[in-house]
Each structure stands twice: as structure tokens, then as C-alpha cells.
């Protein structure tokens, strides 16, 4: 019985029955969605172990598949709710093609988002937990969706970037990263002695498991207005470069202080003329 055709002259039994069906559908949706998501994640985890898929790729596939599952499940729920209240689904599905065509002309941006997202995933340009620069944002990828990509900046901001805005991607998480430290010493100091001190610190850090190569003292990088800049360079594991650079600076400052080698700092000289 169609409730809309009956108007106000409907049987309360029909209303109660329809209400119960709606409640059952909502409960079923609330149960199936988390169970389905867990099942998808478990299946992808098994596939990742069998095919030696990387952790980032595994998380990317999980989030994308769960999103698609949620969209499909939500669409089915809407269709079943409409059927429950007496609205014929057949004519709606028949007219979906015409409506979709009309919407397509007005939603070209959405189509572009989906197509771009598809190629981002197909070409594996980015994955979850990658550190990237894309769409004007810098940060770690939290999710690659079919419409948007979520990038978490280092200050904690979560950026929702439409895929069509990702014109170019700089992925900083592919391969080893570079740890670079510049240390300045005074012009009156012995450069060779300072380099020996810094190389001893670098040799100690070569045992650090975060390093995959080096570090080594390269030599004099530049002559500043008040200092001679010595450069130290090494290669580290992905995402370890910043912590390594901080530890290197601290250790090298302490080593130079112990060797009585001055690290110059700004001075101000006041000249007072007698009246």
C-alpha cells in the first residue's frame, strides 16, 4: 500500500508495520557496516601478507575499499527505505540515467576528482603514511579517497584536498632521505681541527640504526660574514631525517665546546664618546 496515495486515510497497522521495517533496516545497517568494514580489512591484510604488499599500500587499499563499501551500502539502504514507504524504485532507477547525465554536466569537478583519484591509486603516486607535497599542502597522507585526499600537516591541521587540485605530487617518502647539518666556526679557528672533531662525532653516529649511509664531513660549504660553514651529510631511513639532524647538531655543539672551538654568535659593540 502506498502511504502517499492514501494521504491521511491510512491504517495505523500499516504505519506501525512500516515503522518497524524502517527500524529493522537502520539496525541492520548499523550492524552490517562495521562488520563489513572489519571483514574487508581482514581480507586485505591477508592479501597483503600473501603478496608482500607494503604497509602504506595496505592502509590505502583498506581505507578506499571501506569507503566504497560504505557508499554502496548507504545507497542500498536508501533504496530499501524508499521501497518500504511505498515509493516505486523501478521508475527511479529507469530515470537515473537521464538524471545522471544532467548532473554530470554540472558536476564535472566531481568526475575529475574521481578520475584523478583513480590514477593516483593506479600509478601508486601516493599512499597512506607518505610524506608529500601536493595541492599546496605539505604533510603526511592519512587517506586517499575517490574524491578527496586527506593530508595531515605537521602542525596537526587535517587538509581535505580535492583530487583534481593535485596537479603534481612531490613524494618525500620514496627511498632514503638526506640528513644535512651546517655548522659554523669562527674565522680564527683551525678548520682542519674542527673537521676532525666533527668527523669523530659523525663516526659515532654511523653506528646509529637510523642511518643507512654516513654521515660524513664534506668540508667547507661557505664563508659567511662571521663564520666558516662546515657541512655534514648522511642518508637516513624514511621520516628519520629531522630527528637525526637535531641529534647531530646537539652532539656537534657539545664536541666543539669540549675542544674549545668557537661557534660565532652575533655581537654588538657600543662605542661611547666622551663629551
Q: What is the pTM of this model?
A: 0.56
**Local confidence band at 128 (pLDDT 50, 70, 90 cut-offs):** confident
Q: Are 213 and 176 in contact (CB under 8 A)?
A: yes
**Local confidence band at 14 (pLDDT 50, 70, 90 cut-offs):** low
Whether 248 shows a pLDDT value over 90: the answer reads: yes
Q: What is the CA angle 198-199-205, rounded to 5?
A: 95
- In the chain, the percentage of residues whose pLDDT exceeds 70 is 78
| Segment 153-182, tens digit of pLDDT | 988 899 998 888 888 888 888 778 888 999
Q: Are 86 and 3 in contact (CB under 8 A)?
A: yes
Range with the lowest mean pLDDT among 78-87, 99-108, 202-211? Answer: 99-108
Please tell me the predicted confidence (pLDDT) of residue 229: 92
Alpha-carbon dihedral angle through residues 74, 75, 76, 80, given to the nearest 10 degrees: 100
Measured CA to CA, the distance from residue 116 to residue 244 in angstroms comes to: 36
What's the sign of the alpha-carbon dihedral 165, 168, 169, 170?
Answer: negative
Q: What is the CA angle 119-120-121, rounded to 5?
A: 90
Whether 5 shows a pLDDT value over 60: the answer reads: no
Identify any residues that bridge with 131 across adjacent strands, giving them in sequence order: 140
Question: 125 Cβ partners below 8 Å, 6+ apart?
Answer: 119, 169, 171
Please tell me the predicted confidence (pLDDT) of residue 114: 73
Amino acid at each position: 500500500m502506498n502511504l502517499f496515495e492514501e494521504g491521511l486515510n491510512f491504517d495505523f497497522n500499516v504505519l506501525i508495520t512500516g515503522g518497524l521495517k524502517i527500524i529493522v533496516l537502520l539496525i541492520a545497517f548499523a550492524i552490517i557496516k562495521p562488520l563489513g568494514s572489519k571483514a574487508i580489512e581482514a581480507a586485505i591484510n591477508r592479501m597483503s601478507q600473501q603478496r608482500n604488499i607494503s604497509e602504506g599500500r595496505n592502509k590505502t587499499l583498506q581505507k578506499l575499499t571501506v569507503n566504497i563499501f560504505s557508499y554502496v551500502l548507504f545507497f542500498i539502504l536508501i533504496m530499501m527505505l524508499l521501497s518500504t514507504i511505498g515509493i516505486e524504485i523501478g521508475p527511479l532507477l529507469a530515470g537515473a540515467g537521464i538524471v545522471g547525465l544532467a548532473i554530470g554536466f554540472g558536476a564535472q569537478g566531481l568526475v575529475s576528482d574521481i578520475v584523478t583519484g583513480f590514477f593516483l591509486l593506479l600509478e601508486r603516486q601516493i599512499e597512506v603514511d607518505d610524506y608529500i607535497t601536493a595541492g599546496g599542502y605539505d604533510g603526511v597522507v592519512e587517506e586517499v579517497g575517490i574524491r578527496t585526499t586527506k593530508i595531515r600537516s605537521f602542525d596537526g591541521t587535517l587538509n581535505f584536498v580535492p583530487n583534481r587540485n593535485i596537479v603534481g605530487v612531490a613524494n618525500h617518502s620514496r627511498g632514503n632521505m638526506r640528513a644535512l647539518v651546517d655548522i659554523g666556526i669562527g674565522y680564527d679557528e683551525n678548520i682542519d681541527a674542527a673537521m676532525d672533531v666533527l668527523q669523530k662525532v659523525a663516526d659515532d653516529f654511523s653506528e646509529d640504526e637510523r642511518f643507512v649511509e654516513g654521515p660524513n664531513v664534506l668540508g667547507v660549504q661557505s664563508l659567511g660574514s662571521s663564520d666558516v660553514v662546515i657541512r655534514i651529510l648522511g642518508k637516513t631511513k624514511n621520516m628519520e631525517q629531522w630527528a637525526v639532524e637535531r641529534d647531530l647538531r646537539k652532539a656537534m655543539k657539545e664536541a666543539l665546546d669540549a675542544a674549545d672551538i668557537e661557534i660565532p654568535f652575533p655581537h654588538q659593540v657600543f662605542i661611547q664618546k666622551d663629551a
